[in-house]
Amino acid sequence: MKIIRRQPRIVSQKILANVSENFARAFRLPEGHRNVGFFSTDNDDIAYIAADDATKKARIQVQTSVTYYGGSMFSEYDYTGTVFILFSSEHIQDVKSAMGYIRDFVDNYSELYCFDGDRGTGFYAQTIARAGSFFRDWANVPEGQAYAYLVGAPVETNLALDKALKSGNVKMARFFPSPTNANSCGAILTGTESACRAATASFIEGLRQATEDPMGF
């Protein structure tokens, strides 16, 4: 089965400078962080990874990250997307820079796939060489360590995750048990970059086997 890349997109983004005290309190912003950016994408996985990537390049902190129930198929309108991520900084220029880094990652470095063009077999499988500060806190990945971000449909993904964990010296940093808010399943695995790449390849192969023979044992 041929693997085809799908292109996720940012569906909405906003930047606020010098937010009100009530706003800062509502989002529990750190002292001095009165500048914020927030965005949504039509795939939640890329949003988390892109936000972490931005923490490596701009002086920001991710404050809120949540996937909507049901995802974008059940949004109130077209620009809601499937996730909400808010980050903050002491300086508005850092927020602007971070938003640019996020857009660049979503547009050019995402690894959202399907098999043979079938949107019903969508999955996210990507190896990242170095984690940022967001994944250090959110996913228990030591800052600077490689990780594999692996997400797909629940039944196929559980089979594929087992193959990925057996592929080399990786461990599970965070597990997303099924069903998630987006009705998926997955995990973030950590280890050396080469081990994470081997795990990602094994994960994709496991998904392929399960998709080709969905009723087989």
- Please, which residues have CB within 8 angstroms of residue 76's CB and are 6 or more apart in sequence? none
Closest by Cα among 194, 165, 164, 147 to 49: 147
Structure tokens that stand for 215 in this block: 């009723």
Q: The domain 8-110: what is its CATH number?
A: 3.30.70.1710
Structure tokens that stand for 96 in this block: 């602007």
Which residue bears the tokens 């903050």? Answer: 88
pLDDT at 76 over 60: no
CB neighbourhood size of 130 (10 A): 15
Phi then psi dihedrals of residue 126, to 5 deg: -145, 140
Q: The domain 113-212: what is its CATH number?
A: 3.30.70.1710
Are 6 and 32 in contact by the 8 Å Cβ rule? The answer is no
Phi then psi dihedrals of residue 68, to 5 deg: -70, 150
Same fold: 8-110 with 113-212: yes
Q: Tell me: the pLDDT tens digits for 18-41?
A: 999 999 999 999 999 999 999 999
Instruction: Report the alpha-carbon distance of residue 35 to residue 20 in Å, rounded.
Output: 10
Segments making up each domain of the chain, as ranges: 8-110, 113-212
Q: Which tops the pLDDT comparison, 98 or 179?
A: 98
Instruction: Report the alpha-carbon distance of residue 79 to residue 5 in Å, rounded.
Output: 22
The three-state secondary structure class of 206 is: helix
As a dihedral over the C-alpha atoms of residue 210, residue 187, residue 161, residue 104, rounded to 10 degrees, the angle is 60
Q: Tell me: the pLDDT tens digits for 175-205?
A: 999 888 888 999 999 999 999 999 999 999 9
Confidence label for 117 from pLDDT (cuts 50, 70 and 90): low
**Entry pTM:** 0.94
pLDDT of residue 119: 61
Q: What is the pLDDT of the chain when averaged over all its residues?
A: 93
Confidence label for 136 from pLDDT (cuts 50, 70 and 90): very high
